[in-house]
Structure 1
Amino acid sequence: MKPTIILAGLLTLSGCGYSDSRMAHQAQINMVGMTLADLQSCAGVADRSARIDDRTQILTYAVNNDSAGGIEVTLPVIGGGYTVGGSGSRCNANFRIEDNKVASLFYSGNNDRPIGEDGVCAPIIRGCMRRPQASMIPLSDETRALSSAYWQPPAPAPRPQPEGVARMPTVGR
């Protein structure tokens, strides 16, 4: 009876990682096209920003959880051990802004949950996803089908440059 209760508790706690990860990935779809004013009204002022050119800037929002939470269990095996669970503690949400609209959202850092990727990033975008702004892509069955807790959705295609604007060189291509 006790192993069943422990397993049920572990699965319940790890479910939080799933929903946070799914929300973080859903934001990568629904926040594209959002105006800079709407982004700042629901996510706040960015921790850092960098201007790339006249049309493009990067806004970085950071979350740093010194106590990451979750459950970490080390299983003894010959030659050491195997650690299961645990959670990341840091996330940078990097918004690429083009012409004062969100063009893409990428996450970096030690930001995975025991179940799901990028779940530590959820607090950054949670306000925007709970109360969607008018300039966001609406939540729908179609956009929900594109998101998962286990992988990021494909990056949006770059928007065409206006005539006479030089494109920045891409490294490695």
Structure 2
Amino acid sequence: MVSLKLRVASRAGLACLVLCLTGCGYFDSRTVHKAQLAMIGMTENDLHSCAGIPDKTLKMNATTVLEQYIYKPNTPGTFSIAPLNMGTVTYNGSGSACVMMIRIDRGQVSEVHFAGDNDRLIGHEGICEPVIRGCVRQPESTMRHVSGGLFGPVSAFSSPPIPPQSQSAVWNGPAADLPALRTPADQIAGGAAKAAAASRAAAPSAPVVPGGEAVIERSDAASQK
């Protein structure tokens, strides 16, 4: 009898915890951060099919477009729960608006950002969940599969790292050696190239006769052979 009561109490406590996390925005934050990974690489056509037409569009250059989606909930910042019918608890302090900015590089999503007063009580960017809901609940064929498990790459409290970007996506000028785009391999190769150039510059050059031909100076040992 005691064990039955303990099981009932533990299940009730677990249900209360899940309801609290849901109402506080924890799972919404995880969904939003999952979308930041899953939407990378999807085509612009698929993006418009599941997220709708953007509120604003900025053409950054011939290959890059920045699209902006704006969401303002009708009743921001307040929600109520009644755990186990023990009274209603009202929470405040959630964000009031979300701005989703998507970088399109050569017709594909290369970066997803969220800005604004968009945090809920638990987690980051939870207010933005309705913006990407259509894409996450019914994924398009060009979206990535991302594990949403507790031990996967998704967190409720931090956005995933920004994927590597092409130079044309971040720079409108001519091709240049941008430090921000260098990978560790590029840095190693660049250091080796600089060392080789310095070695060549330090090496003594052969004297040149007026006719334009280099004079090879042989050592005494070589000249005696």
Fold shared per TM-score above 0.5 = yes
Identity %: 36
Aligned to 1:148: 155
Q: Which runs of 5+ in 1 are unaligned?
A: 73-83
Secondary structure of residue in 2 paired with 1:106: strand
Aligned to 1:115: 122
Q: Which runs of 5+ in 2 are unaligned?
A: 1-11, 81-90, 181-225
Question: Which whole-Å CA distance do the structure 1 matches of 2:27 and 2:159 have between them?
Answer: 14
Task: Give the counterpart of 1:22 among 18, 30, 34.
Answer: 30
- How far the C-alpha of 1:24 sits from its partner, in A, is 0.5
* TM-score, normalization by structure 1: 0.76
Change (3 A) 1:71 1:14: farther
* TM-score, normalization by structure 2: 0.59
Question: Which whole-Å CA distance do the structure 2 matches of 1:146 and 1:22 have between them?
Answer: 10
Whether 1:39 and 2:47 are equivalent positions in the alignment is yes
Change (3 A) 1:168 1:134: farther
- How far the C-alpha of 1:145 sits from its partner, in A, is 1.3
- Aligned-pair RMSD on alpha carbons? 3.0
Secondary structure of residue in 2 paired with 1:20: helix
The AA in structure 2 aligned to 1:99 is R
Question: Which whole-Å CA distance do the structure 2 matches of 1:51 and 1:40 have between them?
Answer: 16
Change (3 A) 1:63 1:131: same
Question: Which whole-Å CA distance do the structure 2 matches of 1:127 and 1:158 have between them?
Answer: 26
The AA in structure 2 aligned to 1:34 is M
Secondary structure of residue in 2 paired with 1:41: helix
Aligned to 2:113: 106
Task: Give the counterpart of 2:137 among 130, 137, 156.
Answer: 130
1:65-84 superposed matches below 5 A: 65-71=73-79
The number of equivalent residue pairs is 151
The AA in structure 1 aligned to 2:70 is A
> Is the 8 Å Cα contact of residues 71 and 86 (structure 1) preserved in structure 2?
no
- How far the C-alpha of 1:160 sits from its partner, in A, is 5.1
Identify, as 1 or 2, the structure richer in strand. Answer: 1
- How far the C-alpha of 1:69 sits from its partner, in A, is 3.9
Identify, as 1 or 2, the structure richer in helix. Answer: 2
> Is the 8 Å Cα contact of residues 13 and 70 (structure 1) preserved in structure 2?
no
Question: Which whole-Å CA distance do the structure 2 matches of 1:24 and 1:158 have between them?
Answer: 21
Change (3 A) 1:158 1:117: same
- How far the C-alpha of 1:86 sits from its partner, in A, is 1.9
- How far the C-alpha of 1:65 sits from its partner, in A, is 1.9
Change (3 A) 1:86 1:9: farther
The AA in structure 2 aligned to 1:119 is G
- How far the C-alpha of 1:12 sits from its partner, in A, is 2.4
Greater shift, 63-72 or 32-41, is seen at 63-72
Secondary structure of residue in 1 paired with 2:78: coil
